């Protein structure tokens, strides 16, 4: 699946490379009579390498990564375990769960856009349009209508008759805001049982007169034990994956 993902990203970056085609390379010569060191720089390669810097933004703005990483961070805070699991573990888990959720869409893009383009049966512009459609449908499924309406109004382009008419530049920020709202809603629901445990432990300690003992010293082992007993990681991952409406 990684191969398909990188081929998809390369396909999305084709217009930038295509714009640089036909421009001659830059040559620099030095020394007497034009002899000496000579440097050749391909502008196509420069355009491609520059476009690769957009990969983190593409990952953050058009995939489930935002919702997953925020929920994982809030879950860690609710458990009260500080930096355990570390950030690298949470990012890696969120990244591979993102690939798992997006795999049907990436497979569709690969079969309908990447393969025909590599076989020279589909031009670059058509391949780009075909590749955008599954991702666009996915984003529309996750985005609330009020967010889309708000950003359409902000853009000043007036109301749209159909969701297919929403520009990509408007859909992406609406998708991000909708994902943030969903992530904090899920995080709030995750926080509730852990807050109840903290309140119960604090009340018991106060009733026993042990006011000098930190409630976190007692509640954290209890929260960890309950979280493991109910198989909390599997439930959280399964609920997150199921929260995405697939097109």
Interatomic CA distance for residues 179 and 46, integer angstroms? 33
For 84, counting Cβ atoms within 10 Å of its Cβ (0-12 exposed, 13-18 middle, 19+ buried), the class is exposed
11 and 123 in contact (C-beta within 8 Å)? no
Q: Is residue 47 part of a domain?
A: no
| DSSP codes, 53-75 | TTHHHHHHHSSTHHHHHHHHHHH
Q: Is residue 45 part of a domain?
A: no
Number of domains making up the chain: 1
Q: Apex CA 239: angle with CA 236 and CA 240, to 5°?
A: 85
pLDDT, one tens digit per residue, over 15-64 is: 444 444 444 444 444 555 544 444 445 555 666 666 677 777 776 788 88
Residue 131: which domain range?
A: 55-242
pLDDT of residue 42: 55
pLDDT, one tens digit per residue, over 205-231 is: 788 777 777 777 778 888 888 888 888
Q: Is residue 219 part of a domain?
A: yes
| Prediction pTM value | 0.73
Q: Is residue 16 part of a domain?
A: no
pLDDT, one tens digit per residue, over 155-175 is: 777 677 666 777 777 888 888
Interatomic CA distance for residues 7 and 10, integer angstroms? 5
Tell me the two tokens of residue 245.
């409406």
Of the chain, the percentage scoring pLDDT greater than 70 comes to 74
pLDDT, one tens digit per residue, over 56-80 is: 777 678 888 889 999 999 988 888 8
Q: Is residue 20 part of a domain?
A: no
Q: Is residue 229 part of a domain?
A: yes
Q: Is residue 31 part of a domain?
A: no
């Amino acid at each position: 699946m990684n191969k398909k993902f990188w081929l998809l990203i390369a396909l999305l970056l084709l217009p930038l490379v295509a714009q640089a085609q036909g421009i001659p390379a830059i040559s620099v010569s030095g020394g007497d009579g034009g002899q000496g060191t000579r440097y050749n720089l391909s502008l196509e390669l420069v355009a491609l390498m520059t476009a690769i810097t957009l990969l983190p933004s593409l990952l953050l703005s058009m995939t489930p990564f935002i919702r997953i990483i925020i929920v994982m961070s809030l879950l860690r805070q609710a458990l009260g375990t500080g930096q355990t699991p570390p950030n690298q573990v949470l990012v890696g888990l969120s990244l591979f769960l993102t690939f798992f959720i997006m795999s049907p869409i990436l497979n569709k893009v690969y079969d309908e856009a990447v393969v025909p383009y590599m076989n020279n049966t589909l031009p670059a512009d058509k391949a780009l349009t075909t590749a955008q459609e599954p991702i666009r449908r996915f984003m529309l499924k996750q985005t609330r209508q009020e967010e889309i309406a708000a950003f359409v109004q902000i853009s000043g382009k007036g109301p749209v008759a159909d969701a297919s008419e929403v520009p990509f530049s408007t859909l992406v920020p609406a998708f991000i805001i909708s994902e943030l709202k969903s992530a904090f809603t899920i995080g709030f629901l995750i926080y509730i049982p852990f807050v109840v445990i903290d309140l119960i432990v604090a009340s018991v300690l106060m009733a026993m007169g042990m006011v000098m003992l930190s409630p976190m010293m007692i509640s954290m082992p209890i929260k960890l034990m309950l979280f493991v007993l109910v198989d909390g990681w599997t439930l959280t991952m399964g609920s997150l994956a199921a929260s995405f409406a697939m097109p």
